């Protein structure tokens, strides 16, 4: 996941460290967060398409998801 984000020139803001919601896949090494601030929709859409094509789940969290206790700001949440 990290390699794919870097291939697209994106910054990974969280892997296993930091604060996360209960039952988060981050703690199991199965999720990353990718910064979206200052990144064009064109680049983000290309990244999301490729991530999904490779079997990853993509949650667009550029807006805080309803009921999310811990949120670090606009990002994409990528998990497997």
Q: Which domain holds residue 64?
A: 2-79
pLDDT band at 41 (very low <50, low <70, confident <90, very high): very high
What mean pLDDT is reported for the chain? 87
Does position 40 have pLDDT exceeding 90, yes or no? Answer: yes
Number of domains in the chain: 1
The pTM of the full predicted model, rounded to 2 decimals, is: 0.83
Phi, psi of 31 (to 5 degrees): -155, 150
Which residues are within 8 A (CB) of 19 and not within 5 positions of it... i.e. 6 or more apart? 70, 72
Q: What is the mean pLDDT of residues 34-39?
A: 94
Does position 16 have pLDDT exceeding 90, yes or no? Answer: no
């Amino acid at each position: 996941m990290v390699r794919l984000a870097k291939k697209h020139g994106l910054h990974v803001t969280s892997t296993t460290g930091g604060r996360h919601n209960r039952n988060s896949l981050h703690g199991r090494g199965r999720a990353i967060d990718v910064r979206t601030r200052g990144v064009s929709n064109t680049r983000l859409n290309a990244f999301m398409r490729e991530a999904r094509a490779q079997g990853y789940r993509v949650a667009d969290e550029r807006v805080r998801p309803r009921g999310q206790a811990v949120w670090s700001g606009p990002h994409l949440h990528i998990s497997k």
